[in-house]
A and B are shown apart, each in its own frame.
Chain A
Amino acid sequence: MKLVDIVDLIWSTWKRNKARTRLILSIISISLGVIVLALSLSFGLNDLTLGSLAHSGALKAVDVSSPDPDVTPLTQKTAAQLQRLKNVQSVAPSIELAGVAGYSKKTADINITMGTEGYFKDEAWVMMAGKRTFSSVSANEAIVTHATLKALGINSFKNLEKNPISVIFYIPDYDQTGGYRAAMPSAMVKKTAKKVKIIGVTSENYYQQVFVPLKLVPIKQPYYSIVRLRAKSQSSVTDIRKQVAELGLISFSYGDAMSDAQTLQRGAQVSFLLLGFFALLFTSMIAASTITISMLERAKEIATLKKLGMTDKNMRRLYYSETVFMILIGSLIGVGGAYILGWIFNLILWIIAKSQGAVSHMIFGLPIYYIPILIALAVIFGFIAGLIPAKKAARLNAAKN
């Protein structure tokens, strides 16, 4: 019997048994669809968090701080020293200050980070709205965390730039102390107020933090809290960290954290893939058992075909083909449908984010090459699953049916 006739026979059977066909296709497509959505979500979240870090060049950043700022504070001299280290491309210092933010009648205690563009460029921000770079090193601009906005009672991202907030900077008077002091008496702190417009909002929901350009408020003798080094390449990060340690300073690399996080993320993805694999296996088994039940219901039909002269080989081909086609069509509907559904969901998020003036992210982001892999796997499992009904059909005693 030719394959085209086998397909014809299968098609006639499906057409005449629409309810059964739809039921089996639904089981297969829904199971596979759920697998694809779960995998898409896993990949999407990965891109959302770690992906933004990796793309921003944070993997080449090394944050240098002092183990005891009272003894070895980070000064302009230290920054210059760090700049001279081997394989260091650039140096970007930052200053941490305490402060108060105000908007309308509300105020909030905040931490202020003053930094250069080079410093903020490598921050692992996930932006909810606006941009992440200042127009100049002394611009009256600020990037705030979502927690700060909420503390100030600002609930919408719209018109942020048109409604500036006030920021009071608590700047230590080092002339009075004669140098850096970790614990600073309030009498030795000068207050400087600035009106700044919010140009960006990060997704941080816990810490009330405001980021401003390094030279927004002039500080006579700056003591840096962190000096961020940028390595020439990611591979030289370890070497730079060794040199930093030799200077008696401590360092932190995003690369390490990223690596750990990526390992965790990969572990999660492998778990998802394993889950998908078993779900696929389970789906194939369901398909096989459903087709086997359907085959047993059609025992008389099989007996007729055998009595008419269909060989066992052709009988096996018929049932292999039926299972494989069923799983192929089911997986095309399920995988394709879930992929499209993920994109529709992303689109809805994008529309909502745009209407709120926020930055949108893709929550579902399964790489396209996973689609043929999943379908191919489903078909392979289908072929294996098809062995059971095919074998049963071939062994059926035609004389007794």
Chain B
Amino acid sequence: MPVPIANKETTSTPTLSVTSDSMGAATGTGKPVVPSALKTPLQSTISRAGASIPTYAQGKKPFIEIQNISKIVQARPTRAEPAPKITKILDDVSLNIYPGEYIIIFGDSGSGKSMLLNHILGLERPSSGRIVVNGRDIATMNESDLAYFRLGTLGMVYQDTNSLDDLMVWQNVALPAAIAGVTKDKRKQLALRLLESFRLESLADKYPQELSHGQNKKTAIVRALMNNPMMLIADEPTAGLDTKASDEIMENIRFINEQSNMTVVLVSNNPNYVYFPHRVVYLTDGKISRIVENRPLRSVAA
């Protein structure tokens, strides 16, 4: 659980206390600093059938196992196209995600990135294949189990911030805790502490409309951390942001992964950040075209 600490010199990087050592590569300049060592991939693996296992995870149990999933959708017939149109959005995708890993799913628009995330979230059911989380097949979970799975296990940052316009920033941040049944005083306290650790406490009593897009994205990240999830999922979190704001967001996410060892799966089509994660999964037309391993997982490599 990331808990706030005081005294951090940068304005853009959160201050999270963790059990591991350093503060990572945050510089406070707003621009990501990519260590030269990371610019050379450690290993590239192309996987078409069966999930690839990165070098650092040999013998480890994956947190999420995506096993040969495909998603086929059938468009409703129209006058223009009376024949039902069948589209394969995901095609035999297999991927293992390990605890503490930071993965970017990279691909163009329409490549199936968001659909893959929706499958991990349990919002979509695959046409074939299965997704196993912590040894349990998502397909066996009922609606209630899935809701609790999303509430307690996952923290989600959406492409558009998905803030509730009627609620103030602190209330939006505290929303997952409200759904979990945490009392108002307690969740307000938690939300304010979390906002403070991201240097966003001054925005607590504002409404989402009063915030810039970048500020809204940051508060969305804070909200995703509210229930202390095991995994952070971000769907194009830098979409619509300028370079500076994008860099800050990506720094924040990397910081969360490094400091709290939280598993991160991020969807992006911005090539500037492909050096940030442990692995980059390239998705083309619903298929994994290749997986690039950037650097080892610290805990595994240690």
Contact = CB atoms under 8 A, between A and B. Distances in A.
Contacts of B143: 311-312
B121 interface: yes
Interface stretch (B58-66, B164-172, B276-284): B164-172
A207 B279 CA distance: 103
B50 to A, nearest CB: 27
Contact of A304 (B149, B164, B171, B178): B164
B46 interface: no
A8 B184 contact: yes
Contacts of A86: none
Interface of A: 1-2, 4-5, 8-9, 12-13, 15-17, 300-301, 303-314, 397-399
B118 A399 contact: yes
Given A17-B166, A311-B144, A398-B123, A305 B118 contact: no
A344 to B, nearest CB: 37
B152 interface: yes
A308 B118 contact: no
B83 interface: no
A5 B124 CA distance: 28
Contact of A307 (B150, B152, B166): B150
Contact of A309 (B118, B148, B158): B148
B243 interface: no
19 contacts: A8-B178, A9-B178, A16-B166, A17-B166, A301-B165, A301-B166, A304-B162, A304-B164, A305-B164, A307-B121, A308-B151, A308-B179, A309-B147, A309-B149, A309-B227, A311-B143, A312-B144, A312-B147, A397-B123
B175 interface: yes
A301 B164 contact: yes
B179 A1 contact: yes
B176 interface: yes
B34 interface: no
A288 to B, nearest CB: 21
B167 A311 contact: no
Given A308-B156, A398-B123, A399-B118, A16 B165 contact: yes
B181 A307 contact: no
Contacts of B156: 307-308
Given A312-B144, A398-B123, 6 more contacts: A12-B166, A13-B166, A300-B162, A304-B163, A307-B158, A309-B179
Given A307-B123, A307-B158, A309-B152, A1 B178 contact: yes
A12 B121 contact: no
B147 A306 contact: yes
A305 B123 contact: no
B141 interface: no
Contacts of A9: 167, 178
B178 A5 contact: yes
A377 B151 CA distance: 37
A309 B180 CA distance: 8
A12 B167 CA distance: 6
Contacts of A15: 166
Contact of B179 (A301, A314, A399): A314
Most buried by A among B124, B165, B166: B166
A374 B167 CA distance: 34
A4 B162 CA distance: 23
Nearest to B152: A309
B223 to A, nearest CB: 8
A13 B171 CA distance: 12
Contacts of A305: 164, 175, 179
A12 B172 CA distance: 12
Most buried by B among A16, A301, A308, A311: A308
Contacts of B162: 300, 303-304, 307
A144 B163 CA distance: 77
A2 B151 contact: no
A16 B209 CA distance: 12
A17 B147 CA distance: 28
Interface in B128-159: 143-144, 147-152, 156, 158
A332 B131 CA distance: 51
A399 B144 contact: no
Interface in B14-31: none
Given A1-B181, A5-B184, A399-B118, A313 B144 contact: yes
A314 B150 CA distance: 15
Contacts of A5: 178, 181, 184
B126 to A, nearest CB: 12
A2 B181 contact: yes
B148 to A, nearest CB: 7
Contacts of B178: 1, 5, 8-9
Contacts of B148: 309, 311
